[in-house]
Amino acid sequence: MFQTGEPLRSSFYFLFLILLGTASSFGRGAAIITLEMPVGARQLAMGEAGAATVSDANAVFYNPAGLAFGPLSNEWELTQAKEAKDQPWFTALAARTRSGFMAKSDLWAGSATGLHHFDGRIWRNFHTEAIEGSARVRDVVRTFAGSEDGLDSLTRIVKEFNNVKTETEESFLVEVRLPWNLVVPDTISTLLYEERTEKLWVGTVSGLFRFDGKGWKSFKTELGNIRVTSLAAQGATLWIGTSTGLFSYRNGVFEAKGKILPSQNITALAWSEMRKELYVAAKGAGIARMQPKKDASSKDRWNLFGLEDGIMDLECSAIVVDSSGHVWTAHSGGLSHFNLRKWEQVRFENNQVRSLVASPSGALWIGTDKGAWWHMPAYATAKGRKAEKEQLNAEEGQGEWSHFHTGNGMSSNRVWLLLPQGKDVWFSTAAGMERFNSAETQMSVFYEKLLPVLNIPDLYHLFSGATFPATEWGTIGGFVNFISFGQTTVSTGTTQDNTNTFNSSETVVGLSYGTRINKNWGLGLNFKFFYSSLSAGASVGDPASTTSSYAIDIGVLDRDLFVNGLSMGLVLANIGPNVYYLDKSDENPIPLTWRMGLAYNILETVDHRLTLTGEYSRQMIYNNSRGVAEPFYISAWKSWAYPSLEAEGDGSTTILKKSVQEGVIGVGAEYIYTNTVALRGGYLFDKIGKREELHWGLGVMLSNVLEVDIASIQGISDLEGVRDGQMRFGLLFKL
C-alpha cells in the first residue's frame, strides 16, 4: 500500500515513477504501461528479445507475423528436392516417434539407391558411429555389416568415404561415417520401424534386412533373394509379404503362410490389433482376411473378398486399419472400405490413387495424382461412434474432407507416398520429399511479481495468450495482458483520518492474425483494446481517473534471411490515438514502438539446438511546438531525427548516436538438449530507463502437452536495480 500526503493526481505520478524500473515507457512520456509490458518467461530470459523468436503463443505480443509460420501455423517444407515425374524417387517411408520442445520426426526413406535418413534437420545417406577405445575402422565396419564376408573390401570403401588414406589419419578419426548402401545397395521396396524393439526392418527387391541401431542382419539365407513387398508387426510376430508368398517371423523362425491363396504375389499387408486379424492383398485375387491360429494344434482361418463382395477391383496397392478397426484399401480408381459388416467404395473420378495411410487420430491420408486428401470419417468422431451404434446403415461419404495441392502449399500435385508422424505428415511427391507440419492450438500463461525489492504484494503482472491455426488461411490468436498497480492511500485533508484508498490497474485485450505472404515472409496484425483505471474504488465525488481506447500492431517476419536459419522480425507496435485521464487538454500518447530483431539457429540436430537472438526497440514519440504528440505516421519517423536524450561529454555526440541511445538493446541465447530441457541467458541495456541486467532462464518439457519456464533478473551495474531478483513464471500448453 502506497501512502503519501500529496494530492490524488500527484500520487499517480509517484506510482508511475516507481514502475520506471519495470518498463521504460513512462520515462519517455507515454501512457498505458501495459501495452509495453513484455511477457513469456522464455523470451524474457533471453534479454526480452522476442520480435524474431516467435515460435510459441507469446508471439501474439512480440510479433503477430510469427503466427504465419510453424509450429503456430500449418506449414509446408520441401526437405529434399528430387524431381521424379514418372516414377517415385523415394520408394518407402518409416519413422520413429520423438517428443519434446521442438521435436522432429526421425525418418527413414528408401530409394533405388538405398536408404536415406533424416535426422531432424538434413537428409544423410550414411550412419555415424563413434570409435571407442582402441577400436579401428575395420572393427566398426564388422559390427555394422554384421558379418566377416567381404570385410576387407567394405573397410576400404568406408575409409575412402571418410577420406582416410593413412594409418595416422585413421588414428585421429573420432567417428566413422558408414554409407547405408554398404550393406543394402538394392532398391528398397518397404520399410517398418518396430517401436517395441527399436529395430528398422528393410525390405528390398532382393531380400530382407534388419538394423538394430549399430549393425545389420541379413535374412537372405532364410528367405533367399526374393522381392519383399510389405511388412506388418503383430507384437513379437513380423508378417512379411513377398512376390512369392506370405511369411511370418517369430523368435528367429520363419514360417510360410497363405498357401491356399489364389495368388502368392502379396502386394500389401495390415494387422488389426483390435480384431486380431491380418488383411492381405494378393495380386489379381482381391483381399484376404486371416485369423491366425491360437496354438500348434489349430489352423489359420482364411476368408477371401472379391468383386462380388463390393471391393473396387482385384488390384490393391495398400491396406490400412484405422483406429476404429475399419479396413481401407487403395486401388487405382479410389478406395474400398470395410466397415466390419460390408464393403463400400469411394471413387476418385479422373484421378489415380497412389498411396493410403491411417493416422492415430483416425484420419486417412490419400495420395493421388492431383494432390493429397485428408479424410476424417464420421464414425471416427465421438458423435459418429454414437450414430454408428444407433444407425447401422449410415451413409458412406460422411465426415470431413480436406484437399492439399500446389494451390495451398505443396510443391507438386503427384503424391507417391505418405506418412503421418506426430505433428508432421511426410509426402514423397514428384518434387521430392515434402513435410506438412500440422499446427497445434497453443495457450500461454505468465505471471511475475513486479519490483520485488519494494515488497508490494499486490503489484503484479498477468498474461494469457492463445493461438488457433486456421488451415491455409494462417493463424488467429488472442491475449489478455493485465497489471495490478496495487492499492494506494492518499490524504484528502489535514488530518490522518481524511484518507482515500483505491486500486489501480490496466488491462489490454488483443486479437491477432498472421498469414504467409510467400514462402519466407509473414505478415501479422494485432488489434488491441485497453482500459486503464488509476482510481478504482475511490470515494464518491472524486474524479474518475480512467481511460480506454485502442491500438494496432503491424509486424513482418522473414525466415531464412540470406542464409538458412536466420530470421528477421520488424514490428511497429501501439499505433493509436492519444489518451487522457482527467483533463482532455492534458493528453498523453500511447507508447508507439519500433521493434527490430534477429534470431539465428547456429546449431540444429536431433538432440541439440542452439539459437542466438537480439533485439533493438525504441519508443517513437515526437511532440510539436505546442507540446502535443504528433500522429504515429509522423512520430514513427521524425522521432529518429529529434532525439530527446541530451548529449554527453563535449557535445560532439551525433544525432544518430543520441537517437540509438534512446532505445533498449537485448541479446540472448537458448540451448535445447534432447528436446526436453532448455537453458537460456540474456543481457539487457536501457540507458534512458537506467537498466543494465543479466537474465537467465530454464525450461522443461514435462510432456507433449505442457512446458514449464522460469526466468529471473540480476542487475550488473550502478544503474537502477529495482528489478533485481524479479522472477517470471510461464506455462505453455499444446492442445
pLDDT in tens, 454-511: 777 888 999 999 999 987 788 999 999 999 987 766 665 555 566 667 778 899 999 9
The confidence score (pLDDT) of residue 594 equals: 92
Average pLDDT, the chain: 86
Reported as a single tens digit per residue, the pLDDT across 284-305 is 999 999 999 888 788 999 999 9
Residue 586 above 80 pLDDT? no
Residue 443 above 90 pLDDT? yes
Q: What is the mean pLDDT of residues 714-728?
A: 78
The confidence score (pLDDT) of residue 361 equals: 85
Residue 408 above 60 pLDDT? yes
Select the more confidently predicted residue: 567 or 535: 567
CB–CB of 40/50 below 8 Å?
yes
CB–CB of 200/193 below 8 Å?
yes
75 pLDDT tier (thresholds 50, 70, 90): confident
The C-alpha cell that represents 381 in the structure block: 468422431
The confidence score (pLDDT) of residue 26 equals: 43
The confidence score (pLDDT) of residue 372 equals: 95
Output the 3-class SS for 104-158: CCEEEEEECCEEEEECCCCEECEEEEECCCCCCHHHHHHHHHCCCCCHHHHHHHH
628 pLDDT tier (thresholds 50, 70, 90): confident
649 pLDDT tier (thresholds 50, 70, 90): very low
CA-wise closest residue to 560 among 520, 596, 523: 520
Reported as a single tens digit per residue, the pLDDT across 22-64 is 444 444 567 888 999 999 999 999 999 999 999 999 999 999 9
d(CA 633, CA 271): 65
Beta bridge partners of 371: 368
What class has domain 2-13+22-69+451-734? mainly beta
- What's the gap between Cα 516 and its chain centre? 16
Overall pTM surpassing 0.85 (yes/no): no
639 pLDDT tier (thresholds 50, 70, 90): confident
Residue 553 above 90 pLDDT? yes
Lowest mean pLDDT among 207-216, 350-359, 716-725: 716-725
Any residues with CB less than 8 A from the CB of 526 and at least 6 apart, and which? Answer: 60, 64, 510, 511, 512, 551, 552, 553, 555, 573
One-letter amino acid for residue 550 of the chain: Y
Select the more confidently predicted residue: 716 or 52: 52
The confidence score (pLDDT) of residue 442 equals: 95
Reported as a single tens digit per residue, the pLDDT across 194-247 is 988 999 999 999 999 999 999 999 999 899 899 999 999 999 999 999 999 999
Strands 2-4 and 475-491: parallel
The confidence score (pLDDT) of residue 735 equals: 84
d(CA 556, CA 599): 14
631 pLDDT tier (thresholds 50, 70, 90): confident
The confidence score (pLDDT) of residue 455 equals: 78
Residue 390 above 60 pLDDT? no
CA-wise closest residue to 38 among 508, 554, 662, 687: 508
Reported as a single tens digit per residue, the pLDDT across 246-266 is 999 999 999 999 999 999 999
The confidence score (pLDDT) of residue 5 equals: 37
Any residues with CB less than 8 A from the CB of 184 and at least 6 apart, and which? Answer: 114, 115, 202, 204, 209, 216
Tell me what percent of the residues of the chain surpass a pLDDT of 70. Answer: 87
Residue 660 above 90 pLDDT? no
Residue 410 above 80 pLDDT? yes
Q: What is the mean pLDDT of residues 100-117?
A: 79
The confidence score (pLDDT) of residue 438 equals: 83
Q: What is the mean pLDDT of residues 344-371?
A: 93
The confidence score (pLDDT) of residue 718 equals: 61
d(CA 166, CA 159): 9
Tell me what percent of the residues of the chain surpass a pLDDT of 90. Answer: 56
Any residues with CB less than 8 A from the CB of 687 and at least 6 apart, and which? Answer: 645, 661, 662
Residue 102 above 70 pLDDT? no
Residue 12 above 50 pLDDT? no
The confidence score (pLDDT) of residue 629 equals: 74
- All CATH 2.40.160 domain ranges of the chain, comma separated, are 2-13+22-69+451-734
**DSSP character for 197?**
T
Lowest mean pLDDT among 531-540, 601-610, 702-711: 531-540
Reported as a single tens digit per residue, the pLDDT across 333-348 is 999 999 988 999 999 9
d(CA 712, CA 726): 6
- Bond into 71 cis (ω within 30): yes
Reported as a single tens digit per residue, the pLDDT across 123-163 is 889 999 999 888 899 999 999 999 888 999 999 999 999 99
391 pLDDT tier (thresholds 50, 70, 90): low
The confidence score (pLDDT) of residue 267 equals: 95
193 pLDDT tier (thresholds 50, 70, 90): very high
380 pLDDT tier (thresholds 50, 70, 90): confident
Reported as a single tens digit per residue, the pLDDT across 159-184 is 999 999 998 888 888 999 999 999 99
